[in-house]
Amino acid sequence: MLKYTLDIEDSSLWLRSTPADFALKQPFCCTEAGIFYAREHFNTIRDSKDSCLIFLTIAGCGQITQNGVTVKLPAGKALFMNCRSPQSYCTDPETGFWTHYWIHVDGSGVQALQELLLPENRIRSFDADESLIPLFDKVLKNMENQSAYTVMSVSLSIHRILTELITHNTVAISENQRTIRKTADWLAMHYREPMDLDLLLAMANMSKSYFMRLFRQYIGTTPYNYLLSLRMTKAKELLEVTDMTIHEIAMETGFSDDAAFSTRFSSMIGISPLKYRRAAITRHQG
């Protein structure tokens, strides 16, 4: 399904191209592009289109909705969207006009960068300075000419546009890293307590799949394995420097019983808790 109201000024530009084989082999290619001087009633509602879309607002404001997320796109903001799931976009009603560049893009390079541009497949806006405008203009200038030079020029321009957006995304990446570190620190303070993944997800405000992937990326393992490593580190300390019984250490490190503690300790450390304690005593005496 495609519905639209093309409420745009006559000076608007809409270009289409059917990429030849050489263009399709490039990491980035363009099928449609334009600059719209959109008026109050401009809007598009689409079920699916086999490409991705980049917006850059020059003046006014747009409003884009996809996957339950609505983003306003004022001047100086850009947005990347995978059009393979339902979407809608329009002139923001509060502004009444929306001057924007737009490019439909695809290719292996676009697919490879989507994870960085669309974390959790959620659209978001990016700060975009005026240095992007010449790149959009270059795409518009060259997209209808299918010579090798212009095809490569378009591909490089799209790559530079997406790279700039990803560069601005580094702030979000740092925020994600801090969030994951915060949950890891919480586990370190509550290692005695049972694993509560739902609580961690609520703290991070992330979906399970996205949280698990980021946790492994920044911490190097899963939350549960990280919790076990914390418990084992504490257990080794208690075995070495205290005379606590195995039962007491099992309870102190969050295990339900002695057997569960001993089994897990032996599998992770390579020897039983008692043998570890004896080896530690021998080591200290030597």
What are the residues whose beta carbons fall under 8 Å from the beta carbon of 2, sequence distance 6 or more?
Answer: 44, 45, 46, 47
Regarding pTM above 0.85, the answer is: no
Residue for token pair 């809608």 = 88
Nearest-angstrom CA–CA distance, 11 and 34:
11
**Domains within the chain, CATH numbers bracketed:** 2-168 (2.60.120.280), 174-286 (1.10.10.60)
Please state the three-class secondary structure of 238-253 as a single string: HHHHCCCCHHHHHHHC
Burial pattern 44-53, b for ≥16 Cβ within 10 A else e, equals bebeebebbb
**241-249 long-range CB contacts below 8 Å, 24 or more apart?**
246/273, 246/274, 249/273
SS3 54: strand
Nearest-angstrom CA–CA distance, 282 and 110:
60
pLDDT (tens place) for every residue of the chain, 286 residues total: 889 899 999 999 999 888 888 888 889 889 899 999 999 999 999 999 999 999 999 999 999 999 888 999 999 999 999 999 999 999 999 999 999 999 999 988 888 888 778 877 788 888 888 889 999 999 999 887 778 888 888 899 999 999 888 876 665 567 888 899 999 999 999 999 999 999 999 999 999 998 998 898 888 889 999 999 999 999 999 999 899 999 999 999 999 999 999 999 999 999 999 999 998 888 766 5
Dihedral of alpha carbons 80, 119, 158, 151, sign: negative
Task: For the chain, list the strands marked E by DSSP.
Answer: 2-5, 13-16, 29-38, 43-46, 52-66, 69-74, 77-82, 87-91, 98-106, 125-127
Closest Cα to residue 20, out of 12, 10, 30, 5? 30
Residue for token pair 């694993």 = 195
